[in-house]
Amino acid sequence: MTTLAGPDEGAHCCPDHDGGLLDGDEAVALADVFKALADPTRVRLLRYLADSAGGTVCACHLPDALGISQPTLSFHMRKLHDAGLVERAQRGRWAHWSVNPTAIEPVRSFLGLAPAPAAPRC
Amino acid sequence: MTTLAGPDEGAHCCPDHDGGLLDGDEAVALADVFKALADPTRVRLLRYLADSAGGTVCACHLPDALGISQPTLSFHMRKLHDAGLVERAQRGRWAHWSVNPTAIEPVRSFLGLAPAPAAPRC
């Protein structure tokens, strides 16, 4: 790997870094989930679902609970659903929402940020 | 708490949910960190820093390693730094970057999404 440092600058620099780079598709997938979480209302919605009895909440409770309108709720739930962070089950008239832990695990694991086992070190 | 469900719709609904709601300031702080992570290049940068020997990488290595220009690197490192996700140390001519685990812990904990201990249940 070449660096931008010339011989003089190299004296102030660390050894070259030959560690592996996260796969591009994986980085895009992680960023997409983080993007879905990059809103305070969606953060609160996810926490609210997770705190609910049985991990499921009827959509009828959510506008009052969060202090938002039904269209605003629909907008944010669509973002969470598109990212796979929540699951929807229809029961009679109402949708019931729950957190999907399978979608959360990769970002949680990423944030552990322990060195990747196979990554070579400089 | 009132619901949007009338008597008939209530028959299809779950019991009312009286769980606590995440504090507004806390939700904003979490969303700000997720926003800083909502980009594939920043995801790769963070992983690259975490995988480095000693957890620190000279800025001189990063453009080549990530395949980005120096201005692009500066833009993304500023976003990560503003969110507190990375720390900067000047060594001679070069900045050396490392991950700040203190800033990551709250979002990692949030993504555990275990029910909050003090939250009442419906």
Distance of alpha carbon A48 from alpha carbon B116, whole angstroms: 10
Task: List the B94-99 sheet strands across, edge first.
Answer: B56-58, B94-99, B86-91
Task: Write down the ipTM of this complex.
Answer: 0.80
CA distance B50 to B48: 5
pLDDT in tens, A51-69: 887 788 999 999 999 999 9
Q: How far apart are alpha carbons A40 and B26 in whole angstroms? A: 8
Give the fold, CATH level 3, of B21-112: Arc Repressor Mutant, subunit A (1.10.10)
Instruction: Give the per-residue pLDDT at B98.
Output: 93
For residue A1, which residues of chain B lie inside 8 Å, CB to CB?
61, 64-65
Order the strands of the A94-99 sheet from edge to edge: A56-58, A94-99, A86-91
Partner-chain residue, chosen from A19, A21, A64, that has the shortest CB–CB distance to B2? A64
Question: What is the predicted pLDDT for the residue at A49?
Answer: 92
CATH class of A22-109: mainly alpha
Mean pLDDT on B87-115 = 87
How distant is the Cα of A75 from the closest Cα of chain B, in angstroms? Answer: 17
SS3 content of chain B, % helix, strand, coil (to 5): 55, 10, 35
Looking at residue A116, what DSSP letter applies?
A: P
Copy the structure tokens of residue A34.
């983080």
Q: C-alpha distances in angstroms, A51 versus A71, B99, B118?
A: 23, 30, 10
Answer yes or no: are the C-beta atoms of A94 and A59 closer than 8 Å: yes
Distance CA A115, CA B49 (A): 9
Tell me the domain boundaries of chain A: 22-109
Q: What is the pLDDT of residues B26-53, one digit of tens each?
A: 999 999 999 999 999 999 999 999 888 7
**Minimal CA separation from A4 to chain B, in Å:** 5
